[in-house]
Amino acid sequence: MRRTPIALAALLLAGCSLGGGDEPPGDRAVVLVTHDSFAHDQAVFDAFTARTGIRIEVRKSGDAGALTNQLVLTKASPIGDVAFGVDTTFASRALDEGVFAEHRSSAADAGPGSYAVDDTNRLTAVDVGDVCVNVDTAALAERKLPVPKGFDELADPRYKDLLVVEDPATSSPGLAFLLGTVAHFGDGWVGYWEKLRANGVLVVAGWEEAYTQEFSGSSGNGPRPIVVSYASSPSAEIGEDGQPRTQAVLDTCFRQVEYAGVLAGAKNPADAGQVVDLLVSPEFQRTVPELMYVYPSRSDVELPESWQKAAPLPAEPATLPAAEIQANRERWVQQWRAAVQG
């Protein structure tokens, strides 16, 4: 899942691999395989090691899709002990392929359990990142345009050539936005995208290009005031007056949950399970918003003040069953290509 604020690029450096080299005798190392956007507070990991004797070695492997593919291809000889970052769009594939072993987190009833994919206890929800349309409110005001209320208005000629989206074939938020249109329009989603194409929608490869280069509301000062990003994005766009410069259109949100799980065949599943539990502990969950710009899965962790003001968790985002996504994802992407790219 691609993160939203520009400052996150520097923060991600904190998430680089912790280990390397030979393990000291008796060392209890757990390899945590994750995506490139993973970030953490080293002090939380150090305290965990001091308390349990378990050292966490982080290894990064592309985005959510690339991570899932690698886990599937290496399931007979796992590349780690725990994986974090398989999201809503790929969860069913990982489960169908037998990538994860059963582990019920002790924190499941504190919120993570409400995002369960199924009842097998193989995946534990760590964070929530709702993909939504974001707008540059000042830029729209200059054009004497209101903030669009939902999907339908984006196809209105008043917003011609103003929207930039990510390609669902190459971008996790792009795929989530496509799924949001499927959930909203049902069988009419293809026709909706044909209207967006006629209305001048710009498609780019990924979030960074869309948000930091084409969107006018970020530091890139691009030409388009409407972009597909995250409900949390406005928290990174607070002006000198203390007010957010951008706004998420909450009626366009699609819920994207990231999961962690013990890999089937892990060398030390007991220690691996403790690492999964760490990721949903209050200590780790409190760092999730400011380091990874997503919402914690625990319901008892308070959001930062700036999030409460500018980026509250959407109350009713669109969702689709994981099995339905798995069964139709490739077909939907092909249909999207035909409708938008010809």
What pLDDT, in 10s, does the model give residues 13-42? 333 333 344 444 457 999 999 988 899 999
Where along the chain do its domains lie?
8-129+256-310, 131-254+314-340
Residue 254 forms beta bridges with which residues?
131, 318
CATH topology of domain 8-129+256-310: D-Maltodextrin-Binding Protein; domain 2 (3.40.190)
Residue 66 has pLDDT above 90, yes or no: no
The stretch 113-126 carries a mean pLDDT of 95
What pTM, to 2 d.p., does this model score?
Answer: 0.80
The stretch 314-335 carries a mean pLDDT of 92
The stretch 65-82 carries a mean pLDDT of 93
Residue 124 has pLDDT above 60, yes or no: yes
Q: Given 3.40.1190.20, 3.30.540.10, 3.90.1640.10, 3.40.190.10, which CATH number is that of 131-254+314-340?
A: 3.40.190.10
Q: What is the pLDDT of residue 1?
A: 53
- Which is it for strands 54-60 and 28-34: parallel, antiparallel or unpaired? parallel
Topology alike, domains 8-129+256-310 and 131-254+314-340: yes
What b-and-e string marks burial along 223-238, b requiring 16 or more CB atoms within 10 Å of the CB? ebbbbbbbbbbbbbbe
Residue 296 forms beta bridges with which residues?
127
Question: 191 versus 293: which is more confidently predicted?
Answer: 191
Using 50, 70 and 90 to split pLDDT, how confident is the model at 4? Answer: very low
Q: What is the pLDDT of residue 24?
A: 47
- pLDDT tens for each residue of 154-166: 999 999 999 999 9
Q: Which of 81, 141, 91 is nearest to 264 (CA)?
A: 81
